[in-house]
Amino acid sequence: MVVVRAVLGALILLLNWVFTPKSIKREANEQAAIDAQTTKLALYQYAACPFCVKVRRAMKRSALNIETRDAKRSEQFKEELLQGGGQLKVPCLRIEDDNGEVSWMYESGDIISYLESRFNPTDAEPNPA
């Protein structure tokens, strides 16, 4: 089982690398403004978890420079996730607001929807015209 999991993990990482999505291009000032906001976000994840790969690919497509924290390899990140989010489950997005309030978002689909609606609002709500 351990071997099967390791092979599947390696395959996921290989396919992800071969089919790396292209990032959207923004004006430099617009990207800088988004980069400033994404310093307040961190993705707790595992390298070869397919749900985490899905979120990382969405981040890459949207050119979101969000710090990733490997909760399998780092005891510190694992502990932060457990204490802050309440569950040892990945992916989980740590969101700090302008007042320093922190919230934790689980579920890859919810994380992707959140990122798209916050940073690519035109993708989330296509213009019918």
Ligand X SMILES: N[C@@H](CCC(=O)N[C@@H](CS)C(=O)NCC(=O)O)C(=O)O
Element containing residue 41 per DSSP (H, E)? strand 41-45
Site membership for ligand X, residue 11 (CB under 6 A): no
Q: Minimum distance from CB of 109 to ligand X (Å)?
A: 6
CA dihedral of residues 19, 22, 65, 111 (deg, nearest 10): -70
Q: What angle do CA 44, 61, 57 make, to 5 degrees?
A: 40
Site membership for ligand X, residue 85 (CB under 6 A): no
Name residues contacting ligand X, limited to 18-47 (CB under 6 A): 46
Asked if 123 and 63 touch (Cβ cutoff 8 Å), the reply is no
Q: Minimum distance from CB of 96 to ligand X (Å)?
A: 20
Element containing residue 12 per DSSP (H, E)? helix 2-18
Asked if 66 and 41 touch (Cβ cutoff 8 Å), the reply is yes
Of 7-15, 26-34, 84-92, 95-103: span binding ligand X (CB under 6 A): 84-92
Q: Minimum distance from CB of 88 to ligand X (Å)?
A: 6
Q: Of 30 and 110, which has the nearer Cβ to ligand X?
A: 110
Distance CA 68, CA 114 (A): 17
Site membership for ligand X, residue 115 (CB under 6 A): no
Q: Minimum distance from CB of 92 to ligand X (Å)?
A: 8
Distance CA 101, CA 108 (A): 22
Site membership for ligand X, residue 16 (CB under 6 A): no
Site membership for ligand X, residue 112 (CB under 6 A): no
**Rule CB under 6 A: which residues touch ligand X?**
46, 49, 51, 88-91, 107-109
